[in-house]
Structure 1
Amino acid sequence: MKVKRPGLVTVIVDLNFLNVFLLIVSFFPKSKFIEQFGFYFNPTPSFFGGYN
């Protein structure tokens, strides 16, 4: 007999998979693949060296 997981556990697992996907995608910030989903990476200003 298969036991079904509670709904909250399923939501948490799905959010973890989304976080892993976004983490892997963030390793490639200059890719056109990311920009087609509407994510644009701008350089962040630094106090000690202008833009990194």
Structure 2
Amino acid sequence: MISLQDRELFPVQLILREILIANGTSDMTSGVSAVDAMPIGETVKYATIVVAT
């Protein structure tokens, strides 16, 4: 991650990490209640992991 400056060259692990981190922070700042956002956030996390695997 330190040596790669071009995002197109990032390995899939770094892309997965960014998606999971972005999803975690968007749940905290969204206007949707935490009860409604939780299943959607978890679904996105798990779907991303399955696709990357």
Shorter chain as normaliser: what TM range? 0.3 to 0.5
Give the TM-score, by structure 1 length.
Answer: 0.44
Rg larger for: 1
**Higher relative helix content:** 2
Give the TM-score, by structure 2 length.
Answer: 0.43
**Higher relative strand content:** 1
Higher normalized contact order (CA 8 Å, seq sep 6+, divided by chain length): 2
